[in-house]
Amino acid sequence: MLKGYYAILDVKEASIDVATLERRAKLLLAGLPCCLQLRAKHLPASGMVACAELLQPMCTAAGVWFCVNDRLDVSLAAKTDMVHLGQGDIPLRHALAIRGDSPRPFIGISTHTVEEAEQAAREGADCLGFGPVFSTQTKLDAGAPLGIALLAEVSRKVSLPVVAIGGITLDNLDHVVRAGANAAAVIAAVEQSPNPAATGRKIGEAFTASRPGRI
């Protein structure tokens, strides 16, 4: 399920033009991601719901999971496949209680240490985001890079899908794959590529062509 290229549609504006959003989403979906995540730190809840209600059907038609970042309420309102929560968002135990017996939304948790990863796994997360693996300028408050060795340790110690994030490029992607990550969340290397769709496909292909090795 979550394996390969994990696309992130990073909306920096406080409002969004629907045509622009749709165009950007189509470009990312052309890269054949396993998931498309809406990251919109400056949009109000109403704007996020409107975006989610547009993007979820597009992703469903493409056979790709759709995820919203940070906002469980938006995920529930728009009936998205997945929500990804940071350490400062609603605690996992409360998110699980609100979700109840429903299998959706799938809940991912951002982690930055082995301890956070193990705790999220114990408490019932469905998948983990781990990073930043490398130095990144996309998220300026991401902190110091954690490195491949720590990513490999997390991948060994938890049985959940691990999505690596932070500074991942085609040049260092092989290290991420060999560390045992299930997917790589990539923003800058795709957006800055002369052919974003081809770059997305190459990221996905790296996970199907390679097997994890020792780090």
Domains of the chain: 4-209 (3.20.20.70)
Dist CA 129 CA 86 (whole Å): 9
pTM summary value: 0.93
- The predicted pLDDT at position 213 comes to 45
Helix (H, G, I), strand (E, B) or coil at 80: coil
């923003």: which residue's tokens?
187
Q: What is the DSSP letter of 134?
A: S
Check if 39 is active-site. Answer: yes
Question: pLDDT, tens digit, for every residue of 178-191?
Answer: 999 999 999 999 99
Separation of alpha carbons 106 and 71, rounded Å: 13
110 is catalytic: yes
Q: What is the pLDDT of residue 215?
A: 39
Question: Measured at the alpha carbon of residue 47, what is the angle toward residues 42 and 49, in degrees to the nearest 5?
Answer: 120
Interval 115-144: pLDDT, tens: 999 999 999 999 999 999 998 766 556 578
Catalytic residue among 104, 139, 156, 201: 139
40 DSSP 8-state letter = -
Please report the pLDDT score of residue 15 as a whole number. 84
Peptide bond connecting 145 to the previous residue in cis, omega within 30 degrees of 0 = no
pLDDT score at 13: 87
Task: Determine which one of 110, 155, 178, 202 is catalytic.
Answer: 110
pLDDT at 124: 97
The ranges of the chain with pLDDT < 50 are 212-215
CA distance 71 to 177: 29
**What share of residues in the chain are helix, strand, coil (percent, to 5)?**
40, 20, 40
Count of C-beta atoms within a 10 Å radius of residue 191 = 16
